[in-house]
Chains A and B, each alone.
Chain A
């Protein structure tokens, strides 16, 4: 027997209470991990954004369009390696009214050069390029809606009315996959030409935004400024941002939600401390006479503190292990996959950040210590004779 094993003994004393407390801590840890995962998933698009991409859009709002000729001006800028453009189509599959997916009209020749983290088999890409009505879809949405290559697809747009006397009809020509954490696996991409040709004269030759890649990634931020200068005295002014800042400014719109989630994750920590504090305080109270006996035998107040804190730390560690042990695989194998496949537009990458799993584990131990602080202090301060009198 040692001091440590003595401290550990009390953990198993009231098995039901210990089990309930460990469950409580585990639930708190899982909730905490989920919140941190949501937060990191939300910001991961910004974190994993390509360092050399610049997005150029209308200065006022990204809902407004740019003249198509801007793309040529961008391409002529020294330092720009390649550039492409796209329009937000806002399409829906009438067969799956409630499915949200991103649908974007793109330039088939350059889009996948700019987004080279999207992987498409060469023959599928060729087939897509050759067919004006071809679409390439993400593997997640394809799997979910049972889409096959060669299948016809009709989309309705909330932005672009269907061409006169017809529908927006497509044929699936390819399926892309990706290993990048910032890329949505549920997008539908089709020829910008097809969209443009189906529009009334007045709406033609307008593009939603331009994405360019800069030869030297260190110049990315400067390039944005240079591009905007070019368009400053033209009919439509632009706002260019490197992809990371673009994603961040998009996130800024959700800053209240993010703050709220952050706050809730802190509240969870407080609840966790209270759950443990309650158990420890009850245990210490019941053991007053035992601590009195130990003090009589010659144990010092510091030993009592060690026993109480040691017990609390082990309790926190067990709760933390249970929480991380259940929560991590659950998100990794079940929840994360489901979210990536179904809510990929919001959370293209939904996994527990390993560093947060470690933090959660450490926090549950530290919280145990914090929660046990006051009971430990009280237990160590009690007068031996008073503690012994309570027995009789």
Chain B
């Protein structure tokens, strides 16, 4: 693989420990990681290997016990809870395994939710949410509530919610884990498209080798350590274009 022009995610000697029943549990061990701008990476590994923990760290949901984390040239490991929350609102889009839509809000309102934290005006918020829903192909489901949607559709709403603030990074923890093959493929295609056409950097945790196939690179985590870097599945899409 050629020397990457710039890494958007930069982890150095990151460790993460949890306290459980008075015992220290070391989940991530002295971990170095670089993810290039515009990459679509898959993260695989056995259950309990620390995939979600690692993803949470790079998304600013949690802070490391040691080491440094730089995202888009910003150190986030030393930010306060409040700073992190504001940083996440502006820089990260989240896609969860169980979609995590608010059941009391319609599709378009769910997508609008993150914009409440931005200075965007109310009418403009609605417009942007509608645009995001169009991007994921749900223009005719805007007023539906989550319970009126299929799992695949729910996940597409959640992807619209993740991109509506135009974040630099999208993290997805097993986004296809609850979906059947066909819906899973649709979601993966969507993520791929977002990566290719919009240049979004995506890190996706998955158990599904078929899903990992769609990413530009797959990394393997085992017992808190990254195994030797895998060859890219293909050229990173964004870089290939530039």
Contact = CB atoms under 8 A, between A and B. Distances in A.
Interface of A: 1-3, 6, 9-10, 12-13, 289-290, 292-301, 383-385, 388-389, 391-392
B109 A298 contact: no
A297 B125 CA distance: 16
Contact of A297 (B52, B62, B114): B114
A385 B90 CA distance: 19
B97 A392 contact: yes
A385 B116 contact: no
A250 to B, nearest CB: 57
Interface string B65-97: 000000000000000011001101110001011
B131 interface: no
Interface stretch (B100-108, B182-190, B220-228, B229-237): B100-108
Report which residue of A2, A292, A293, A392 has the largest number of chain B beta carbons within 10 angstroms of its beta carbon: A293
11 contacts: A1-B125, A6-B113, A12-B104, A13-B104, A290-B100, A294-B102, A300-B82, A300-B85, A385-B56, A391-B96, A392-B98
**What 4 pairs between A and B have smallest CB-CB spacing?**
A298-B89, A9-B104, A293-B100, A298-B88
Contacts of B126: 1
A1 B61 CA distance: 26
A5 to B, nearest CB: 9
Contacts of A3: 116
Interface of B: prevailing SS: helix
A214 B122 CA distance: 69
B130 interface: no
Nearest to B97: A392
Nearest to B59: A296
Contacts of A295: 85
Given A2-B122, A385-B56, A297 B98 contact: no
B94 A297 contact: yes
Contacts of A300: 82, 85
Contact of A391 (B81, B98, B105, B161): B98
B117 interface: yes
B154 interface: no
B92 to A, nearest CB: 8
A10 to B, nearest CB: 6
B192 interface: no
B41 interface: no
Contacts of B109: 1
B113 A297 contact: yes
Report which residue of B90, B98, B125 has the largest number of chain A beta carbons within 10 angstroms of its beta carbon: B98
B88 A9 contact: no
Report which residue of A1, A13, A295 has the largest number of chain B beta carbons within 10 angstroms of its beta carbon: A1
A286 B112 CA distance: 23
A8 to B, nearest CB: 9
Report which residue of B88, B100, B103 has the largest number of chain A beta carbons within 10 angstroms of its beta carbon: B100
Interface in B20-72: 52, 56, 59, 61-62
Nearest to A10: B104
A306 B122 CA distance: 19
B105 A9 contact: yes
Interface string B127-159: 000000000000000000000000000000000
